[in-house]
Amino acid sequence: MNLLKYKIQLLLALSALAISCTEIIDINTQKSEPELVIEANLALNSHAEVAISKTIQLSDSNAFERIKTASVELWDDKGNSEVLRVDNETGKYYGSQLKGKIDYNYKLIIKIAGKTITAQSKIPKLVPIKALSLVNSVYPGAGKAPANTKADFYEITVAYNDPVAEQNNYRVQLFLNKKPLGGIYVYDDKLNNGLENELNIVVFNESIKNGDTLLVEMQCIDQAMFNFYSSLGADGFRPNSSSPANPETNLVGALLGYFNAHTSEKQQIIIEK
């Protein structure tokens, strides 16, 4: 993941659209020092997984290289700890002892080239999916498409009961045939605390066909991660924003990335058009 590069590329592309086709524009992009990117996850009842890489320049065509020389430790608030081991094939660091537990606070400590990066995250209480449904539509809100009609909109509804006793934050991830569909779907309960809720997600995808598997994962995340994903979808594109901004992070010692300790519940639907 290279958030900064992606946002700069998008802004440059939008700028190019507003310029005459016959005008040659020489854009002077200054080179910057590579930044560390941390992608760390700890799911309920699972081991930690951490990927460490560096940003690359706009002119670089090579893929992000995983950093395999870091020291990565995970601690819980009961004093238990482990050192994550790197897998040379994937370039990721994996835990094998501590598993994610509800209401546990976790601390990640990464040391690399004399630099220390830390982050903390808590696994909230699990809110289960009550029901999951999907409607294939010609356009959003049109209802189920008639047979033999080209329909590439998919309206996904995730129903759940929000607990009244605490503040809750949710993230939904979508996977098509085990591959991420993309999109940022995060929600809080400020307006619907303690109520029966339905999250409605609309996806447009022309490649989906009968027999494909759509997997929906709902995560309960802490406030810091809600802030991260919310800012990831907004920063750099707000009114009066002159340049892309880094999303809010719970990392200390690095600007890009996150440590997400979360619950995870997955349900799937077989596509039937």
Number of domains present in the structure of the chain:
2
* Same domain membership, residue 154 and residue 246: no
pLDDT of residue 137: 94
CATH number where 189 lies: 2.60.40.10
Are 92 and 50 within 8 A, CB to CB? Answer: yes
Q: List the domain range (segments joined by +) for residue 183.
A: 131-220+263-270
Quick one: which H or E segment has residue 222?
A: none
Q: Are residues 233 and 215 in the same domain?
A: no
- pLDDT for residue 271: 93
**CB-CB contact of 163 with 199 (8 Å):** no
Residue 268: CB partners within 8 Å, gap ≥ 6? 213, 214, 215, 216
Domain match, 61 and 173 both: no
Q: Are 124 and 220 in contact (CB under 8 A)?
A: yes
**CB proximity list for 111: less than 8 A, separation 6 or greater:** 70, 71, 117
Q: What is the pLDDT of residue 101?
A: 98
pTM: 0.82
Alpha-carbon separation of residue 239 from 56, 154, 244, 249 (angstroms): 28, 30, 12, 21
Per-residue tens of pLDDT for the chain, all 273 residues: 444 444 444 344 444 444 444 455 444 555 667 889 999 999 999 999 999 999 876 555 566 789 999 999 999 999 999 999 999 999 999 999 999 999 999 999 999 999 999 999 999 999 999 999 999 999 998 899 988 888 999 999 999 999 998 999 999 999 999 999 989 999 999 999 999 999 999 999 999 999 999 999 999 999 999 999 999 875 433 334 334 567 899 999 999 999 999 999 999 999 988
